[in-house]
Amino acid sequence: MVQLRKTFENNDKISFRGAAAAKFGASVSWTHEALATKTSIRHHKKQTIPDRTDQQRALAKIKCGRLLRKFPNVAFILDDESYFTISHSSVNGNGGFYTSNISETPVDVKFARKKKFEGKVLVWIALCPAGLSQPLIRKSGYAINASRYLDEWIRRRLIPYIRQNYPDDNYVFWPDQASAHYAKVVIDHLRSENVRFVKKNDNPANVPEVRPIEDFWAYLKSLVYAKCWRASNTDQLITRIKYCLKKVDQLIVQKLAKSTKKRIDAVRRFGVAESR
């Protein structure tokens, strides 16, 4: 068992089949059972993290501490946008297939067709402990610029959402660092409407793990593309997205939103993910 532990512990370049055959002369099932019953070693999926600079890693701790000091007892409102594609293959189960004879596998099963310029859909939404805002959904080719962000995102959706859920102003709006989000016309309008927001100098860059809205996109896409669903066109994809948004579990949304401060505090104390 000691050798088994040494072989698998903190190792990302070994498999049950390789270890069993090359190291122990044992079957895959024996190795799997031995790890499960004789050791505490378990398989974990790797998390994807940004490729950050040393300066970004250092500033992440400083700015997360600043966020907690400046906004200790308010709800964080986050907004973000994400693209949904017709042929989605990043959800587990959508990128492979099973067969006993690949030469007899149908073409539609064996290959995933992808157009050179595939249709996609842009979805914007805001998230806070009170729930989700009204989404903005647009087909590909919709360019995000300051004037559109101000008109369609801020004026029509975000500010009514804030007024409805936080009449006591016990909130702070936390956008990401996209250039349109901090354009002068946007900032001037937020100030004119007395919207409390995180200033760009206080906003930690390239730290998606502290923004639970990133996890919301993964959750929503798991609903949209469940059971390997695939759209025939962008109109069908939009219909599916709207349907799945109505089916979203609000308890999951609230739990994600309420985790914001804990995530910020974890980076403040321990640094970004690769430092832990």
Q: DSSP per residue over 36-103, as a string?
A: HHH------PPPP-----HHHHHHHHHHHHHHHHHSTTSEEEEEEEEEEESS---STTSS----S-GG
Condensed to tens digits (0 to 9), the pLDDT of residues 84-136 reads 998 775 444 445 655 656 677 776 665 555 555 578 999 999 999 999 999 99
Q: pTM for this one?
A: 0.77
Residue 46 lies in a domain: no
Residues 152 and 105 in one domain: yes
Residues 119 and 20 in one domain: no
- The tally of domains found in the chain comes to 2
Residue 142 lies in a domain: yes
Condensed to tens digits (0 to 9), the pLDDT of residues 143-197 reads 889 999 999 999 999 999 999 999 999 999 999 999 999 999 999 999 999 999 9
Q: What does DSSP say about strands 131-132 and 136-139: parallel, antiparallel, or unpaired?
A: unpaired
Domain with 26, as residue range(s), is 2-38
Residues 22 and 159 in one domain: no
Residues 151 and 66 in one domain: yes
Residues 97 and 60 in one domain: yes
Residues 76 and 207 in one domain: yes
Residues 126 and 152 in one domain: yes
The Cα 67–Cα 126 span in angstroms is 19
Residue 48 lies in a domain: no
Residues 151 and 227 in one domain: yes
> Residue 35's pLDDT is what?
72
Residues 59 and 33 in one domain: no
Residue 43 lies in a domain: no
The Cα 88–Cα 91 span in angstroms is 7
Rounded (5°) CA angle 86-122-144: 140
Residues 110 and 196 in one domain: yes
| Tally of CB atoms within 10 A around 18 | 13
Residue 44 lies in a domain: no
Residue 47 lies in a domain: no
Residues 91 and 221 in one domain: yes
Residues 157 and 260 in one domain: yes
Residue 49 lies in a domain: no
Q: Are 84 and 120 in contact (CB under 8 A)?
A: yes
Condensed to tens digits (0 to 9), the pLDDT of residues 30-74 reads 777 777 787 877 766 666 667 778 888 899 999 999 999 999 999
Residue 45 lies in a domain: no
CATH number at residue 260: 3.30.420.10
